[in-house]
């Protein structure tokens, strides 16, 4: 119903419109290209598909302004880093307070005590550690799991993303494990130590774990990085049981699914993991992540350290758990990521899903809309995917590119990859209405 030529025409028109509307971003882009590789301080900033990067001026709550003075309804929210709004007042105040008191000392602060209590209360795991990113937390967790089980393999699900963690960059293509082709400069064949199977495939899981060599399963309880793939009823519980039975540790990476509700997917639906990872929004956008674990895992970690030689464990970096991150995390956990915040986000996300669905159906398209709490996604296909292979097959790169450009040019930001939206405590009904309105205008033109 939407032709390739309509998509190409929209991309061309919207690129021209973007160029005309953003002279200051264009000039900054040229200046930045003098010394930033590919013109940006980090290459992800090119993922938006705009002719040149949009330069941000400032953001507050769920709004962002660019250097040319345009205002945006921000439903991307830094791809989750600002899921609880840009610069929430308590986090901004905590950062300001800490700024003149020293930023990093390699010593704990009083904030650390409050943070650990808050994490344990919310996520039901007694012991915690802090890293600077979710990628780093996942790398630490994999290392610990291998260390304490004495097993070398990690099991992940096809289509997963857990950050810059080479061990899990393995895809299933036609049932065959392959090193992800986009991975740069990896000379080790990580497939020797990584098992990849499809999500929701219990038989494959049981067969893989039965070999007794899998240290941990690292998973999102609902996959969010290959479009969205929901667990089928009973699957997560069966996964939990299979791990326990085989002596494999279960790790939930809730970096994205923290959108589900207070305490994330785990506290909302269970089951409890052995280890738990949360990054991105946990300190309101200050680089920071945490991993938690059971008392049993903690005891095994102690044992592992006692048995090994003293020295660097390969886990952690100098700035991990610095004073600034702890101050920001304390404010974020205790004053921002509250049950009240979710009480606003969850119903508004339902509303967003319903309104997006109405627009899509109103235009005669049979796409589907799905959401994990405040994290939503519309997928250009009628049937929800059950696994990574199905989800990949549903991606419509050019169509998504056209849509994103159209939205940006009308002051609406959604994530630059697939069609992900986030509702924050600061997001309003009128912002949701505006997304629906602009999406409708876009589809009308595309359908012709
Ligand atoms: C589920 C999940 N885990 C971990 C990460 C890594 O986060 P970071 O890039 O902040 O290290 C991501 C990033 O998108 C993610 O989606």
Mean pLDDT score of the chain? 97
Q: How many CB atoms lie within 10 A of CB 278?
A: 27
Residue nearest to atom 15 of ligand 1 (CA): 162
Atom of ligand 1 nearest to the CA of 287: 10
What's the pLDDT score for residue 1?
A: 84
Query: Phi and psi of 316, rounded to 5°?
Result: 100, 155
CATH 3.90.1150.10 maps onto the chain at: 4-84+339-447
Model confidence band, residue 308 (pLDDT cutoffs 50, 70, 90): confident
Question: Distance from the CA of 79 to the center of ligand 1, in angstroms?
Answer: 9
Q: Can you tell me which residue has the tokens 């012991």?
A: 127
Q: Would you give the end-to-end CA distance of the chain in angstroms?
A: 9
Top pLDDT among 376 and 310 is at: 376
Atom of ligand 1 nearest to the CA of 134: 11
What's the pLDDT score for residue 418?
A: 83
CA torsion sign for 139, 202, 292, 344 is positive
What's the pLDDT score for residue 254?
A: 98
pTM for the model stands at 0.97
pLDDT of 310 higher than 90: no
Please state the rounded mean pLDDT for residues 432-436.
Answer: 98
Contact residues for 151 (Cβ-Cβ < 8 A; gap 6+): 212, 213, 214, 215, 248
What are the pLDDT digits (tens) for 28-75? 999 999 999 999 999 999 999 899 999 999 999 999 999 999 999 999
Buried/exposed code over 103-128 (b: 16+ C-beta within 10 A; e: otherwise):
eeeeeebebbebbbebbeebbbbebb
Atom of ligand 1 nearest to the CA of 79: 14
Q: What is the CA radius of gyration of the chain?
A: 22
What CATH number was assigned to the domain covering residues 4-84+339-447?
3.90.1150.10
Who lines ligand 1 at CB under 6 A? Answer: 133-135, 138, 161-163, 220, 225, 253, 255-256, 279-280
What are the pLDDT digits (tens) for 319-371? 999 999 999 999 999 999 999 999 999 999 999 999 999 999 999 999 999 99
What's the pLDDT score for residue 26?
A: 98
With beta carbons less than 8 A apart as the criterion, state whether 315 and 143 touch: yes
CATH 3.40.640.10 maps onto the chain at: 89-336
What's the pLDDT score for residue 261?
A: 98
What are the pLDDT digits (tens) for 247-266? 999 999 999 999 999 999 99
Mutate to test the pocket of ligand 1, among 76, 80, 130, 134 (most ligand atoms within 8 A of CB): 134
Residue nearest to atom 2 of ligand 1 (CA): 162
- The CA-CA-CA angle for residues 121, 125, 128, to 5°, reads 95
What CATH number was assigned to the domain covering residues 89-336?
3.40.640.10
Distance (Å, rounded) from C-alpha 345 to C-alpha 82?
13
């Amino acid at each position: 119903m939407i032709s390739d030529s309509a998509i190409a025409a929209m991309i061309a028109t919207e690129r021209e419109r973007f160029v005309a509307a953003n002279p200051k971003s264009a000039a900054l882009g040229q200046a930045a290209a003098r010394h930033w590789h590919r013109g940006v301080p980090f290459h992800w900033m090119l993922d938006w598909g705009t002719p040149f990067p949009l330069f941000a001026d400032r953001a507050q709550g769920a709004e962002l302004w660019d250097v040319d003075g345009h205002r945006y309804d921000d439903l991307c929210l830094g791809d989750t880093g600002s899921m609880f709004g840009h610069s929430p007042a308590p986090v901004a105040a905590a950062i300001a307070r800490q700024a003149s008191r020293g930023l990093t000392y390699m010593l704990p602060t009083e904030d650390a005590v409050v943070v650990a209590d808050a994490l344990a209360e919310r996520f039901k795991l007694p012991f915690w550690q802090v890293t600077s990113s979710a990628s780093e937390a996942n790398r630490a967790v994999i290392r610990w799991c291998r260390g304490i089980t004495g097993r070398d393999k990690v099991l992940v699900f096809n289509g997963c993303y857990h950050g810059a963690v080479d061990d899990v960059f393995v895809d299933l293509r036609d049932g065959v494990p392959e090193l992800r082709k986009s991975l740069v400069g990896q000379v080790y064949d990580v497939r020797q130590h990584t098992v990849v199977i499809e999500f929701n495939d219990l038989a494959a899981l049981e067969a893989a774990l039965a070999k007794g060599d899998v240290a941990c399963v690292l998973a999102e309880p609902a996959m969010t990085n290959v479009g969205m793939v929901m667990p089928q009823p009973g699957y997560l519980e069966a996964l939990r049981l299979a791990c326990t039975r085989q002596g494999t540790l279960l790790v939930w990476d809730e970096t994205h699914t923290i959108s589900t509700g207070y305490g994330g997917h785990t506290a909302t639906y269970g089951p409890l993991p052995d280890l738990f990872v949360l990054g991105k929004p946990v300190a309101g956008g200050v680089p920071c992540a945490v991993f938690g674990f059971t008392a049993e895992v903690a005891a095994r970690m102690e044992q592992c350290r006692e048995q090994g030689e003293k020295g660097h464990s390969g886990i952690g970096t100098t700035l991990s758990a610095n004073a600034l991150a702890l101050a920001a995390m304390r404010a974020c956990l205790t004053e921002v990521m509250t049950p009240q915040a979710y009480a606003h986000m969850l119903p508004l996300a339902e509303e967003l899903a319903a309104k997006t669905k109405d627009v899509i159906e109103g235009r005669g398209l049979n796409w589907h809309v799905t959401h994990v709490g405040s994290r939503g996604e519309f997928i250009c296909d009628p049937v929800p995917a059950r696994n990574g292979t199905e989800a990949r097959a549903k991606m419509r790169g050019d169509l998504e590119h056209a849509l994103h450009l159209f939205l940006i040019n009308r002051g609406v930001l959604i994530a630059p990859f697939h069609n992900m939206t986030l509702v924050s405590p600061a997001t309003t009904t009128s912002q949701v209405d505006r997304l629906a309105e602009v999406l409708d205008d876009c589809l009308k033109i595309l359908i012709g």
